[in-house]
Structure 1
Amino acid sequence: MQLRFGIRTKLLLSILAILFVSYSTLLYSSMKTLNASLQTELDRNLATNLKYARSQYLDQAEIAKFSMMQAVVSQTVQQRLRERDSAWFSTRIKRWHDVLPFVDLVVVVDPQEKVLATLQGPEKNGPMELPAMVKQALASKRAILSTELLSGEFMCRAGVPGYCERPGSEALVATVAVPVIGTDGSVLGCVVTGDILNHHPNLPGKLQEVTGNNVEVTLTQRGLRVASSLPARVRESYILSPKVLDVLERGEVYRGRTDMGAKSYETIIDPLLNSRGEFVGSLSVAISTETVTNSRRENLQYILASAFLGIICSFAMAYFASRHLTGPLRQLAMSARRIEEGDLDQRVVGHQRDEVGMLASSFNNMAESLKERDGIINKKTGDLQELNEQLEKMVEQRTSALSMEMGRLEAVLTSLAEGVVVTDRDNLVVLFNPAAQQLFELVPHRVVGQSVERLCEMTGFCNVLEQVSDKAQREPRCGKKEVTVKGKRLHVNTATLQDEAGEFAGMVMSLRDVTKEEQVDRMKTEFISTVSHELKTPLTSIKGSLQLLLTRSKWLTDTERQLLTVCFRNTQRLIRLISEILDISGIESGGMIFNFKPLCIGELAVYAVEEIKSLAMGREITIVNTVGEHLPMVFGDSDRLIQVMTNLLSNAVKFSPEGKVVMVTAEQEGNYVVVSVADRGRVIQWSDRDKLFKKFQQIESTERNKIGGTGLGLAICKEIVERHHGRIFYTAAKEYGNTFSFTVPIIGETDAKG
């Protein structure tokens, strides 16, 4: 017999089923959320306590760092360090130790990493092996704080008691290396301080006073305990397992659950790395899981009790709700049936202010909406038609604007003096301007629409047109090439076109005939070279005659001697200008011989400064040469490199205000030595920087009007540097000052090429 249930029974059973599923889901989600919340809180406590512990165990080292950084800026300390005054530093170290009594070692070294003084006094036992972080501090010119493992021998030599009897031992030290930087930026030495963490077994206990008794803090050295807040019976057996050490040695944080004694702990272990990134120890924070377990048990009891009471109350409420809702639902069903039969004017009468009343109101609103829908659709149709008409007008306006823009573009391309060829994605010619017609000697109707290969057959310009048909040109980039076709020298510029999707859409090629320009330039160069050769010999004779007259003619009057001096000075200037012209001509023609050999860039800088010294003294300009002897040997021609430095120094002195400083510096960058000459003159304008390394180009300025020249100096420097496989470039300061730099390869990089 099939059971039939009424709406009241079905509603009651449905409510009970929903309540059962809801409470089951709520119980499951509550337990899962509770566990996740407890675990999140545990993770947050571990991370917070670890962060606090790490900051506190280096607290004293940070104090020492900032104290030493204040001390080393003293002019007295820097002067004593320049004098290598070991006795003075021995007294000063004791005063520093009085101010920082927690510091266990203090060592002062010079730039060559030689120890000057320790806590024991002046170092007299020979060189001492220093931590690697000292070299890093001297090289980077900044203070470094790191946790280091220092040998017992170093600790003994540094004056730490108790380590001389244990020469093979090690100590975990919070080490600080503070470089001493002079006012000129040079490194004068370094001060090294250390806080031995092995001497602070109570440090985790102090941290525990802040974090709470349920948090255990442990500091290890290579996996062996140094200091811990654990009980004595657990502390002695605390050794990190090989599995944990493997994770820490990779520089990663270990996280997991461990058993210490009779208790289970959630542990996070942070590796301690030295300045070279090597594993030296660890700092761990552990929180007992007993509190989490008790909290989980208590919350489970509360949740189960609440669920039981909720189910009883929900059952009673479901029973009364089913009885209350049955009557209105029957009336709603009858009204809905009449609406289903087609009586759209039927309205449901409902006075309840609950969901049933809302449902009745929804039925009534639905009927009203059906009547209004037809009117709304008709209105929207009219609006769409109006919008369509507006869109057509906009399309017409845009089409007209595009046509006008195409006309402008066509006029520009037609008036261009350079030939322009444009292809599409299939390498078919779509544009061929009049200038290109003259170059190819073809009319447009025979070219447009043809493939590049067909155009090559008609013109014979295959070596030019392959720039367009080359498949490598389909990459989104621009290119420039010089080619010779039928005796014509052409500059070919190519650029790819892309569509909205970034795909290849064609190519634009610009052709310019530079044959006549190169002929004129070559004729000009040959004429200048010939004239210079013809003028140098008579000018040399004139110079010798004027010099003889000035040295041996005692009967000359002051006016005559002054006129002869002016003639002699102008003759020297003409000979110098002609020599520069001959130099640039010789370099370009390959007639200048370079004698390459290993050179010391520091010696070349000294020679160049000596040559320009008199000119600088005349303008009261100081030349500071900071090029050191520590730089590697370079491979080049000494006379030519001195010529480059002298030219750059001469320009810096000429165009710097009187009383300023010109700096000469050099440093190694990769396989090159970069030599720089910096002045404090007015910054060269952007519009003039393209003229710097071109022949016969001079920059207009007030100083240039006073000082003559041919505009060949920097061009000669550029040719000489490029013959050395280097490059020369210009850098401007933000306000005042210009820097000219050039590179020279070090030994081993260019000798094979040369």
Structure 2
Amino acid sequence: MHFRELRWKFIKRFFWRFSRSLQWKLVSIFISITLALMIIMWLFLIDSIESTYFQSFKTSIESGLNKWEYKNNPSAGKEQVTEDLVNRNSAILIFYAGEDRTYAIVDSDNLEPEDIVFYDSRYKDNNRRSAYLEDLLKSKNFVTALSGETGDKEILMHTGDGTAFYDYAWTNGNYILYFRYYRQDLGNTIDNLNIDLLKSSIIAIILSLLIGYLLSKTITIPIIKVMHKAQKVAGGDFDQLVDVKSDDEIGKLTKTFNFMAKELKQKIIGISSEKSKIETILKYMADGVIAFNMSGEVIHSNPASLRMLGIKDASFTFYEFAKSYSLDISIEGLLEAESSTTRETNIRTMNKIIKIYFALFTDEENKAEGIIIVLQDITEQQRLEEMRKEFVANVSHELRTPLTSIKSYAETLLDGEYKNGEIAEKFLGVINSEADRMTRLVKDLLQLSSLDNQKVHWNMKNIKLIEIVKNCVNKMSIDAKNKEQSLEFFVEEDPGELYADRDRIEQVVINIISNAIKYTPAKGIITVSVGVNENMAFIKVADTGIGISQEDLKRVFERFYRVDKARSREMGGTGLGLAIAKEIVEAHGGTISISSELGAGTVVVVNLKMLYEVRHE
């Protein structure tokens, strides 16, 4: 049973492949044409043979009738006349009396069965007269002869027992000569011909099978080669070319395939290049990009989008994304809006502010294919905007405070207090102090603006750091002495010369020492040291002052930021000193850092590149 199933499966598979194969289809067509030609030839030969036999039969009769003798004897009876006709023309009629040929002489004047004068070459009695007459009347040629014309049409007739025959009827007005040619001999000839044609057909089919197979190979082999090459091209190997061996349709197909493969290779290279560019842009762009199809599934996301959202992969749908951030937006809503409309909103995640843009992308027919969202981290932008607003507010406040004092004191003097010398002197001193404060503020603002816009003229030259720091300590020693503070200077290691702007470095050092003196109480200690750390020259200023909290420590370099605003103003600070110092140090390629604890003092460290390092950059 198992073997039968395998055999049946093999047969079905063979015929299935046979029916789908172009080569075998061509062979089938070739065999079908051969069979059709053989059938046409067979029909033509059969018809030709039968026509030839009939024409021969007809010609022989007409030739015999040319020699026919007829003598009218009115005194003789019909039967005697008929017998006389047979005797006179026996030499002619003998050729039509036999197994396959018969003749009959019929009196055309009387066709009644009981009175008919009838002579049949096969039957000598009149017992079958009625049946034969009925058979004769079925013959179209005999009926034609009754009308006085010769019945010579090639019509195949059959007797009552099914025997096939052709007939011929001739009349002279008194009698009808009726001839029959039975088809047995012709049938034997045709049967022999059929056998020969069948043998020839089998040979022709075998030959057509072989020839068709060989001829079809000349067509299918190049096509199969093209097909195999096309499969490799479909798999991504675009270097496949087919040899052109002819100028016919197959050759043109091969040339077209080669052209297509080359063009496809160029197109794919171009598309791959563009895809690579887009992927590289998406991979390294700062903005996040996530694309969804119309079902809401993610089809692409770049690394920036995952970083912004704090996730490892985009395994969510559009609806889940909108729900997780409480966004009142849907695919349907975007579709209802115009295709060019872009929706935007802000979300907060992981201490970040993310601006999201929603837009549809369409195909060439302007049919929506999906949704793309662009994520922008605007945290720093928002922070800078807040800083700008705070900066403007601080500048306004810092200018308004001294202006208010100057105006109020000036108005008091104008009201008559200028006559009181003691009060006038005091008020003018306050006005002068506030004017100086405004001058310092404006000066610091202008300097910061120049640093921001890189419009500062740097007077760069070789300088000795120890000498500069020592001079700054000497300048500030009077202020420290006035507060009963100890200001000390140490050299841990000589850094040698630096390539820097002397005045700007002095400004930084004086600002840091000044802050240490301001925020260190009486009897406090301020230590200034110079040394080398990891090929960088450093200036360290440490004090035993009030210190800075960790919360304030993060913002000490911000403009106008003060740890103790009231005390800072009383001491004449503008809140811009450390911001300016940081800009100057960084412009020299250095760094500045502050470490402090509330109530435990503060340490400020400035690192600058030494001259040797500068020259070997």
Q: TM-score, normalized by length of structure 1? A: 0.31
Q: TM-score, normalized by length of structure 2? A: 0.37
Larger radius of gyration: 2
